[in-house]
Amino acid sequence: MSQLIEKCERLKEATLGLATASTKVKNQALILVSKALEENTPFILSENEKDIAVAREKGMKESLIDRLRLNHARMQGMIDAIETVVQLKDPIWQSDQVWTLENGLTINKMTVPLGVIGIIYESRPNVTVDAFSLALKSGNGILLRGSSSAIHSNLALVRVIRDGLAKSQISPEVVQLIEDLDRKVVGEMLRLNEYIDVIIPRGGAELIRFVVDNATVPTIETGTGNCHVYVDESAKLEAALDIVENAKVQRPGACNACETLLVHEKVASEFLPQVAARLKDKVELRGCSQTQQLIQVNPATESDWAEEFLDYILAIKIVNNMEEAMAHIRQYGTKHSEAIITENYTHANLFLRGVDAAAVYVNASTRFTDGGEFGFGGEMGISTQKIHARGPMGLKELVTIKYVMVGNGQIRE
């Protein structure tokens, strides 16, 4: 039996008990874990230093090293996130649909855990703690496969989480970290339908493509966000400027950052110079031919419309009307987060109804598509597919249902 299968066996077994654990027991376990993280912060930080040292040796970019780095503030952030999850309502064994058939058989649609969630992530070590705490509160076991660059940090975090659980009534086996860094293990994981109920890939486009192409386990795609802000003819330009800046600059590496700005031709000559002034020195602008006549920009190519820059780059296109903006979004968007800035009531409604995306905005920054902002206490990822969950996945998205049928001898006619 491979090490992976052995872990999966223990995980599956332990998850059985977790499925029906009471809210109190789950919350006590989470609190014990948060205490363990607090007490073991020096150990975790020193293990994290090892990852940083390796990354330096390998010449990793400083911006990426910063993503990897843990410190006291970031540790506190993780601990606070667990406390938020403790406060949230238990999503398990809830129902909002009960009905009774003519023959007296009562049907009760109850929420139950998914079972075992597999997560493959390339992100910061805090994902380890977020994924664990959301999974535990929703009664799910979790199989973690983090990036090799964070292996020391993840090993330390999982060790401390399990130490915390050991003092609780929940088995430490409900959380397992894959330590084998061989890529082949990911391929194996993707086909463990017997052990894993859903796999969530959280990372770059290449990882997600690999998972979608190779998984037989049901998968929830996350991530890719080619998001647009469309500034309509009737927009309040001052607010539009703040929103464009925020959506582009506040955290350009996030999937909900704006990549292309679409501007109605009637306001372009007034608005675009303001954009150029506000973003100059911070953002590289790439414009369509009309834009090039109004402000100093690099020419945008066809591939710029399709690209998720995840960087300080903004593509700009002038459109004749809202319909053209919506058609552009339909052609190039990834159905993540799309915004219209307008004072026109009809346009707002048409955009909200007609644009197909996880989140559609009127007069706000696309940066709010986020589990923390939504009040979900973190997120397991942001779904960009349409089945099961769409947008930020919090506790409510980590459940399935069970029809509980209560009868007194009913048989089918």
Task: Enumerate binding residues for a copy of itself (CB under 8 A).
Answer: 19-20, 93, 96, 99, 101, 105, 107, 112, 114-115, 193, 197-198, 212-213, 216, 218-221, 236, 239, 242-243, 245-247, 250, 352-354, 356-365, 367-369, 373-375, 385-388, 390-391, 400-412
The identity of residue 194, as a single letter, is E
List CB contacts of 310: < 8 A, sequence separation 6 or more: 252, 253, 254, 255, 257
Q: How far is the CB of 1 from a copy of itself (least distance, A)?
A: 18
Nearer to a copy of itself, 250 or 301 (CB): 250
Nearer to a copy of itself, 14 or 357 (CB): 357
Q: How far is the CB of 98 from a copy of itself (least distance, A)?
A: 12
Nearer to a copy of itself, 289 or 410 (CB): 410
Question: In 3-state terms, what secondary structure has residue 384?
Answer: coil
Sheet holding 116-121, edge to edge: 175-177, 141-145, 116-121, 198-202
Nearer to a copy of itself, 280 or 386 (CB): 386
Q: Yes or no: say if 286 and 299 are a contact pair by the CB < 8 Å rule.
A: yes
Q: How far is the CB of 385 from a copy of itself (least distance, A)?
A: 5
The identity of residue 136, as a single letter, is L
List CB contacts of 24: < 8 A, sequence separation 6 or more: none
383, burial (CB in 10 Å: exposed 0-12, middle 13-18, buried 19+): buried
Q: How far is the CB of 61 from a copy of itself (least distance, A)?
A: 24
Nearer to a copy of itself, 97 or 301 (CB): 97
Q: How far is the CB of 199 from a copy of itself (least distance, A)?
A: 10
Nearer to a copy of itself, 132 or 376 (CB): 376
**Tokens for 16?**
């059985």
Q: How far is the CB of 406 from a copy of itself (least distance, A)?
A: 5
Nearer to a copy of itself, 172 or 394 (CB): 394
H or E element in which residue 162 lies: helix 151-166
Q: What is the dihedral of CA 231, 235, 237, 243, to 10 degrees?
A: -60
Q: How far is the CB of 156 from a copy of itself (least distance, A)?
A: 31
Q: How far is the CB of 391 from a copy of itself (least distance, A)?
A: 5
Nearer to a copy of itself, 297 or 358 (CB): 358
Q: How far is the CB of 89 from a copy of itself (least distance, A)?
A: 13
φ, ψ (nearest 5 deg) of residue 309 = -65, -40
Nearer to a copy of itself, 232 or 245 (CB): 245
List CB contacts of 209: < 8 A, sequence separation 6 or more: none
**Tokens for 280?**
């100059």
Q: Yes or no: say if 4 and 189 are a contact pair by the CB < 8 Å rule.
A: yes
**Tokens for 401?**
């249902």
Question: In 3-state terms, what secondary structure has residue 238?
Answer: helix
